[in-house]
Amino acid sequence: MGITLIFFLSILISFLGVIPPGMLNMSAARISLKEGHNRSFMFSIGVCIVVGLQTYVATIFAKYLNQHPDVTSILKRVAIVIFLLIAFYFFITANRQTSPVKLDRRIKSKQSRFFQGVFISALNIFPIPFQAYVVTSLLSAGWLKLDPINIGAYIAGAAMGTFIALYIYILFFDTIKNNKITSAKNMNYSIALITLAVAIVTFVNLI
């Protein structure tokens, strides 16, 4: 398969993996509503850089993870704990939110939101087993080769697909920003419920 097709295939795969409501896209939307597009843009860049690194790791360990399901099992156990802690944090934050949060562009710097994107994306380890499975499948089908050009195109596509999905959430929530569901309290509850649901689904899959 050509480099261009690998790139666009990776965009599609990553986009489909990120577009369902989740911690990353809901956080990007929340930052956009509270602090504006510029800071959510920096947050998204931080997320995409980590996604690119995670995709690179996934390509290296694709065959290994596929042949050693016990490693994936360990990662899932760690993920359950992380997502439960994140859900607890956002539940507490939502309960403390008693009044609407006004747009304050002085709250956080662009750099802090960038590093927040890096940190939160690093906590989300699911792209590694997900991309490892996809890469292994592509290798088995003969559509992907483990050479620098093909891998570079695949990683770039994964980062781009993630950014597109995040930006769609930013634009969508911006159009309904006057709706009650976009209040800071409800957004915190939404993120908490989503991360709790992910933890439950992961636990069910684990057992």
Q: Residue 52: what pLDDT? A: 92
Give 138-162 pLDDT, tens digit per residue.
877 778 887 888 889 999 999 999 9
68 CB contacts (<8 Å, ≥6 apart)?
none
In this predicted structure, the answer to whether residue 68 has a pLDDT above a threshold of 70 is no
130 CB contacts (<8 Å, ≥6 apart)?
17, 58
Q: Is the pTM of this model over 0.75?
A: no
Give 6-27 pLDDT, tens digit per residue.
899 999 888 887 877 677 877 8
Q: Which of 27-31, 90-94, 105-109, 186-190 has the highest mean pLDDT?
A: 27-31
Q: Residue 108: what pLDDT? A: 52
Which of these, 31, 51, 63, 86, lies nearest to 157 by C-alpha position? 51
Q: Residue 111: what pLDDT? A: 63
181 CB contacts (<8 Å, ≥6 apart)?
187, 190
Cα–Cα distance for residue pair 125/51, rounded to 1 Å: 9
Confidence of residue 49 (pLDDT cuts 50, 70, 90): very high
Write out the residue range of the structural domain in which residue 81 sits: 3-206
204's tokens = 């069910």
Give 163-206 pLDDT, tens digit per residue.
998 988 888 877 655 555 545 556 566 666 766 776 676 566 55
What is the total count of domains within the chain?
Answer: 1
Confidence of residue 107 (pLDDT cuts 50, 70, 90): very low
Q: Residue 87: what pLDDT? A: 67
Which of these, 119, 112, 108, lies nearest to 49 by C-alpha position? 119
Structural contact between residues 97 and 25, judged by C-beta atoms closer than 8 angstroms: no
In this predicted structure, the answer to whether residue 124 has a pLDDT above a threshold of 50 is yes
Q: Which letter does DSSP use for residue 145 in this model? A: -
In this predicted structure, the answer to whether residue 102 has a pLDDT above a threshold of 50 is no
